[in-house]
Structure 1
C-alpha cells in the first residue's frame, strides 16, 4: 500500500512552487519582525495601535516543511494590518527590503495582492494539512476513513473558484491522478475498510462513487461488485485457514428480523396506517433476504447502518462488542484490515519538501547515546506506561525476610 501522507506531500509541493514570490515576501516580513527585540517591540506597538486581539504573535517557518509554512501564513494573516502599519511607523522596515541603490534585495514587503493570495492559499491548504495530521498522528485506525478524505480532496482540486486556485490546482490534480486518478489505482483494502465501518457499509461507498462518476454510471456497480467479491474471497481464505481455531456459532438468520419486529411492535401504537404498512413491507423484505443468508458478509451488509457519525466513534470497540457474537469470522477480517497503517513515515518527514538531513550535532553522537535518546523518547511518547511491577519469587522472599529481621542472612545467601 502506498503511503498516503507521502503522496499528499508530493501533491502540495507541486502547488507551492507557483506561489513562491508571495510566500517569500510574507516570510521576509515575519523574519524582520522577529529578527531583534527592538523590531519585535515595534511590531507589538503596531499590533496595539490597530487593535488586534491575539494571544500569540507571528511565527517563523521552516522553508522545507510546508506545514510550518501553512501555520506561518495563518498566523501572519491575523496581523496583516499590523504589517501595513509597520510601513508608516518603522523607518527601517522598507529599507530591509530595498538597498541603498533602490535595488530589490529581498522579496517584499507584502501588499494587498500578496495578502489576498496568501489567504486563498492558506484556506486551500487546510484540508491537506488536516488529513496528513490524521493519517500520521492518530492513535486510532484511519484506513476506513481514507477513501472519503481522498474524494473530498479530489473535489477540492476540481472545484476551484478563482483563477489563482485554478492555476495552482492543475499540477496538483495531475499528481493526484498519477496515484489516485482511477479506482484501479486505489488499494482494495482501503475500499474494504470503508465497507467494514458500520456507519458506512456499501451505501456510503456508493455515495462517494456517485460523487466521482455521477449517478447511474456503470463503473459504480462494477466497483461495488468488486468490493463485495473481495470480501467474499477474504472470508473464504479465513474460513479455510487451518491455523485459525474459530468456533463459528452462527446466530439465527432471523435475528435482525426479530429485532425489527420488536421495534415495530413498540412503536405500532403511534404509527399511522400507511406507516404500519410500510413497516410490514420492510419486515417481509428483511425476512426474504434473511432466508438466503449463510455467511457473515451478507449478514453484516443486511443489518442497518449505525447512525453515529461523530468523530469519537470507536470502530475497534464496536467490532469487539458486536463482531464476536454477530459476525465472528468477519470480526477477524476487520481486525486485520483496520490494523493496516496508511502512512509509513513520521509527520516530520511527510511535511518535508527536502530530503532527510542529519545535522552535525546528531551525526556526532555515539551509538550508545543515540540508543539512550531513542529509548527515552519512546518512554516520553508512550501514552500507557505500566506502573505495576509483578514481584519475582526472590523479591517476595526477600521482603518476607526483612519483616522477620533476617535481611542480612538472606542477602548473604543471594550473593552466594
Structure 2
C-alpha cells in the first residue's frame, strides 16, 4: 500500500511497535512478506483472468514502452472492456521489464506472449500505441499472427489505433516552432522568478501590491509537452501586471515581454485553449471516449482551416504549420473511430455526412462513402460470426439431447447445420 520494501518488517521501529501492541506476536521476515504478496498477486490475477474469460464482447488494449532514468526499459499493457454486467472496466494486466533492443520484432513477441498468458489473444478488437516506427512493425507482425487464428475483426483493418492526444501533441509542437521566441521569454521569466527565494519573495510583493491572488502560482512547462506550455502561458497571463511591475523594481530582470508580445501570448493562449479542452476529453478515464474522437478532431480541423485565413499573421503562420502536420494524420486516422460516432444515438450517420460536407463542400464525398462501406462490412462480419456461433451452439445442444435419448433426427440436423455454415462462409 505504501510502496515500502519487503525488508520493512525488519525495521527496528516496526518490530518494536508490533511487540508493544501484542507481546506474543510471531514476527515475519522479508521472504515471508514477499511470499505473501506474490500469493495475493496470483489470487488477483486468477480473478481478473476469470473476469476476462466471462466477458461477452471483445477487449481493447493500450500499451506503452519507455526507458527509466536508469536506462531500464519497461512495457505496460492495459485492457479496457465491458463486463457481463455492462460496466466499463479497466485493468493493468502487466507492468513488465523490457530488455533491449526495443525493436518491432521484440515488441511483437513480448506482447503476444503476454496475450497468450492471459488467454485473450482470440478476443481482441484493437491495440492503441503511440507513433513510434517500431510499434508499426510490431502491429503488422501481431496482426499476421492473429489472422492465422481468425482472431481479428475485418482482417485487422481496425486493430491498430494511435494515441489521439499524442497526435495532437505532435501537431501543436509543429505550430509552436515559429513562435518559440515569444514563449521562450515567458519560460525564462518564470525560471528567473522561481530560481531564488529572494526573487520569489520580490515577485510576491508585486502580486500583493496589485491585489492579485498569490495562490494561483506560476507553472513551469515541460517543452516537449504542449499542454504544460499552455498552462504556463495561462498562469503568466494572469500575473502579467506583476511581471511588468517586477521589471521596474528589479534591474536584474531582463526577460519581461513587451506589450506587443503579451498580446501575442494572449492570442496563442486563446487558440491553444481550444485544443487543450479537446485533449482533456481524450484523457478521461471514467467514461468511453472513442465516440467523442471524430467530433473533436473535426472541430480541430475546422479551427485550423479558419485560422489559416486569419488576418493575424502570427496565428496564420502557426495554423499553417499545424495544418500540414494535421492533414498527414487526418488521411491515416482509423475509420473505426468514425463508426463509433455513427453508433452514438446523438450523432448517427447524418452527422458524419454533415462534417464531411463542411470540410469538402459536397454531400456524398468519397470519404463518406468509404466510411459507409466499412460500416456495412463490419456489420456483415458480426452477423456472420453471430450466425456461426448460434449454429455451433445449436449443434452442440442437439448432440447433448440425442445422448440423453431425445430421439431427434441428428443426421437431418447436421445436414442443415452444414448448409448454414457453407452459406455463412460464402
| TM-score (ref. length: structure 1) | 0.51
1:82 maps onto 2:242 in alignment: yes
- Residue of structure 2 in register with 1:60 after alignment: 220
Q: How does 1:18-37 map to 2 (within 5 A)?
A: 18-37=178-197
Structure 1 position 244, deviation (Å): 9.1
Structure 1 position 153, deviation (Å): 0.3
- Residue of structure 1 in register with 2:163 after alignment: 3
Q: Could you tell me how far apart the structure 2 residues matched to 1:76 and 1:123 are? A: 13
C-alpha contact (below 8 Å) 1:206/1:220 kept by paired residues: no
Aligned residue among 288, 301, 310 for 1:154:
301
- Residue of structure 2 in register with 1:48 after alignment: 208
- Residue of structure 2 in register with 1:124 after alignment: 271
Q: Could you tell me how far apart the structure 2 residues matched to 1:58 and 1:64 are? A: 18
- TM-aligned CA distance change 1:39 to 1:123, over 3 Å: same
**Equivalent pairs, count:** 231
Secondary structure of 2:283's match? helix
- TM-aligned CA distance change 1:236 to 1:22, over 3 Å: same
| CA displacement, residues 223-281 of structure 1 (integer Å, 9 cap, x when unaligned) | 4632542343233233234279899xxxxxxxxxxxxxxxxxxxxxxxxxxxxxxxxxx
| CA displacement, residues 360-403 of structure 1 (integer Å, 9 cap, x when unaligned) | xxxxxxxxxxxxxxxxxxxxxxxxxxxxxxxxxxxxxxxxxxxx
- Residue of structure 2 in register with 1:163 after alignment: 313
- TM-aligned CA distance change 1:50 to 1:143, over 3 Å: same
C-alpha contact (below 8 Å) 2:244/2:256 kept by paired residues: no
C-alpha contact (below 8 Å) 2:339/2:371 kept by paired residues: no
Q: Could you tell me how far apart the structure 2 residues matched to 1:227 and 1:201 are? A: 15
Structure 1 position 26, deviation (Å): 0.8
Q: Could you tell me how far apart the structure 2 residues matched to 1:231 and 1:193 are? A: 12
C-alpha contact (below 8 Å) 1:195/1:205 kept by paired residues: yes
- Residue of structure 1 in register with 2:322 after alignment: 172
Long gaps (5+) in structure 2: 1-160, 395-426
**Higher-Rg member (1/2):** 1
Q: Could you tell me how far apart the structure 1 residues matched to 2:393 and 2:277 are? A: 39
Q: Could you tell me how far apart the structure 1 residues matched to 2:300 and 2:391 are? A: 40
Q: Which gives a bigger RCO, structure 1 or 2 (Cα 8 Å, sep 6+)?
A: 1
1:115 maps onto 2:265 in alignment: no
Q: Could you tell me how far apart the structure 2 residues matched to 1:147 and 1:119 are? A: 28
Q: Could you tell me how far apart the structure 2 residues matched to 1:204 and 1:52 are? A: 45
Aligned residue among 341, 345, 351 for 1:194:
341
Q: How does 1:230-269 map to 2 (within 5 A)?
A: 230-242=377-389
C-alpha contact (below 8 Å) 2:208/2:214 kept by paired residues: no
RMSD between superposed Cα atoms in Å: 2.4
Structure 1 position 27, deviation (Å): 0.9
1:226 maps onto 2:360 in alignment: no
Deviates further, 215-224 or 65-74: 215-224
- Residue of structure 2 in register with 1:208 after alignment: 355
Deviates further, 120-129 or 46-55: 46-55
C-alpha contact (below 8 Å) 1:192/1:231 kept by paired residues: no
Aligned residue among 271, 277, 282 for 1:135:
282
Q: Could you tell me how far apart the structure 2 residues matched to 1:6 and 1:158 are? A: 21
Q: Could you tell me how far apart the structure 1 residues matched to 2:224 and 2:359 are? A: 33
C-alpha contact (below 8 Å) 1:210/1:220 kept by paired residues: no
- TM-aligned CA distance change 1:31 to 1:218, over 3 Å: closer
| CA displacement, residues 43-101 of structure 1 (integer Å, 9 cap, x when unaligned) | 1121122332453121222223222211111000001111111111223323xxxxxxx
- Residue of structure 1 in register with 2:50 after alignment: none
Secondary structure of 2:389's match? coil
- TM-aligned CA distance change 1:30 to 1:169, over 3 Å: same
- Residue of structure 2 in register with 1:144 after alignment: 291
C-alpha contact (below 8 Å) 1:131/1:149 kept by paired residues: yes
Structure 1 position 118, deviation (Å): 1.4
| TM-score (ref. length: structure 2) | 0.50
Q: Could you tell me how far apart the structure 1 residues matched to 2:393 and 2:315 are? A: 54
- TM-aligned CA distance change 1:93 to 1:75, over 3 Å: same
Q: Could you tell me how far apart the structure 1 residues matched to 2:302 and 2:200 are? A: 41
